[in-house]
Structure 1
């Protein structure tokens, strides 16, 4: 059910960004609508996530990961929420881990950390939130420490229980949607990891995520590439007009060229006659030809164009097999602007290095943005 209306909500609420607002009152109302829309989308997304986890539909998707390159962008995006607050955000990775390439499910780890950082920010009024990554025996240990309100001991047993939240200012649990930490625990279990916390009222809380440390390479050569000033061309394959215009707005404000196809067949025709696109954003459920079929046909034509499969629906086995191929990634729908651009630039930078013949690790994408 969530896949039916999440894109619709994302498109309609996103369209408010496209209009110039002339008065402070209108700006305030639009801000309220935007925030309410984001919360509604987050709620639906959490409910769908819980459903997928409970039904066993989320499979393990381990991939080689260079911590410095992948987490540089992630920390940069997370830091943005602290910009106008009195809370400082710090992040660190143990130096001995930087030159190694590990194998783990990056999407699940980032999802868990995003939840933990969001909670830390929510319950910290002053002070700091610090994220760190260390190696401990045969595990990678991620921690998120805050100087917030803390959790009273009698409520510790409820922390990972669904529909329970901490009431700001009281350090106790109250009823609410409260699915974030439940999702974090279920995702951790799927990765065969552990999640736990330490907390003291009025002093703060530290959450820990530990996953098995699987080293792929200890000496991965990295090539750092900045975003090119040359305009890049993106093909958006999307049948929903409202959501397409939202994506178009996101990309054009970054100086990216945009072309649209409304189904997979149109996309294939465009690529056959004019294969100059730097990246394809592919919706999954479309009339005439769906995204999975289109990707299969595109790969028969060329392997040179990175593809981002962008869907609000649960992945089925055929889609998961396609996503195991190089240069194809998955991004849940709807995506916020920062998340979308992070994925796009990583894929484009990889393509640029391959074209120049300087890309040395076919599975590790390395980007550096100032």
Structure 2
């Protein structure tokens, strides 16, 4: 059993690395082809930072690292109009790098409000970056690690993608670093306030309580049984009641006949009736019912098409438990009012 678990971790880790390389290459290709588009949506910066903290707080286990985050003061200042997906990707790249290049000490990320802009930062006490690398580090396939005895992994595309996304969002990115003492990456985006719906919930609320699936019913529309098994295994542990259908027609009928359904996970490529058509019909019947597209990250057009069809969010295949739980936590929270990440 120990050997089985060991080899499982190796296979999973190598699979994640391969997927990361593929996704980064596709992102660079779409950026250079001028096909990347900005999709403005109402985005809660403070919630995003809190979710990222929950996502990464255990990834430093095995190292002597303290992870902290800093939010904007007040609820209203943290709700803005921006491309939530690209902002999250930039922060994910920077936090991931900080964890990769830091063995001990502290990592802190957060946001502060400047004149007309929001400035995000990720600070670490890692290996640092030599001054001559501060500019070239943002070029494709460049890495700051010049120690041949230490292999940190990666493909040298994350910072190039981050720079391109930040500039698309209307900001800039830079770093401050001292070799052997650590680095601070900073970037700005325009501060465009969005309308806020006030509630009594606080950002620091315990996500474990929100994520509990007891008393909730999820519909999974997925024609590939192996994909369904993965989602089923993730969600049943949390107490969700699961209903499984294999095509869009069955999904529509289930939503019509089972009012207890709280959320739909919708594969977009299914026989008889695909997820796009099914989502449109479901939203006409039950506009308040959250529908989450489950689609391939590599097919950027699929994501746009799903959001236009009425989906409230999307999960990239292959499915990652952390992504599923973050979306469920947000869409099933009491504050969700049916507005989605597709809002413009």
Normalising by the smaller structure, the TM-score range is 0.7 to 0.9
Name which of 295, 301, 305 aligns with 1:315: 301
Pick which of 144-153 and 82-91 moved more: 82-91
Pick which of 32-41 and 175-184 moved more: 175-184
Q: 1:339: how far off?
A: 1.4
- The runs of 5 or more residues in structure 2 that have no matched partner are none
Pick which of 256-265 and 129-138 moved more: 256-265
Pick closer, same or farther for the CA change 1:318–1:87 going to 2, 3 Å: closer
Q: 1:52: how far off?
A: 2.9
CA root-mean-square deviation: 2.7
CA distance in 1, matches of 2:339, 2:254: 28
CA distance in 1, matches of 2:287, 2:61: 40
Alpha-carbon contact 1:146-1:204 (below 8 Å) kept: yes
Residue 244 (structure 1) aligned with residue 228 (structure 2) = yes
Alignment of 1:97-246 (within 5 A): 100-167=78-145, 169=147, 177-217=155-195, 220-224=197-201, 226-227=209-210, 230-246=214-230
CA distance in 2, matches of 1:286, 1:54: 32
Q: 1:168: how far off?
A: 6.8
Pick which of 272-281 and 114-123 moved more: 272-281
Pick closer, same or farther for the CA change 1:99–1:188 going to 2, 3 Å: closer
**Structure 1 segments of 4 or more deviating over 4 A?**
96-100, 168-176, 362-365
- For residues 242-276 of structure 1, the C-alpha deviation after alignment (integer angstroms, 9 at most, x for no partner) is 11111111111111111111121221122222232
SS at match of 1:159: helix
CA distance in 2, matches of 1:41, 1:241: 21
CA distance in 1, matches of 2:307, 2:280: 12
Residue 55 (structure 1) aligned with residue 42 (structure 2) = no
Pick closer, same or farther for the CA change 1:99–1:182 going to 2, 3 Å: closer
| Higher normalized contact order (CA 8 Å, seq sep 6+, divided by chain length) | 1
CA distance in 2, matches of 1:116, 1:239: 36
SS at match of 2:138: coil
Pick closer, same or farther for the CA change 1:320–1:343 going to 2, 3 Å: closer
SS at match of 1:137: coil
CA distance in 2, matches of 1:303, 1:175: 45
Alpha-carbon contact 2:107-2:124 (below 8 Å) kept: yes
Name which of 265, 276, 282 aligns with 2:249: 265
SS at match of 1:250: helix
Pick closer, same or farther for the CA change 1:253–1:96 going to 2, 3 Å: closer
The number of equivalent residue pairs is 331
TM-score with structure 1 length normalisation? 0.81
TM-score with structure 2 length normalisation? 0.87
Alpha-carbon contact 2:65-2:104 (below 8 Å) kept: yes
- The runs of 5 or more residues in structure 1 that have no matched partner are 1-21, 366-370
Name the structure 1 match of 2:332: 348
Name the structure 1 match of 2:42: 64
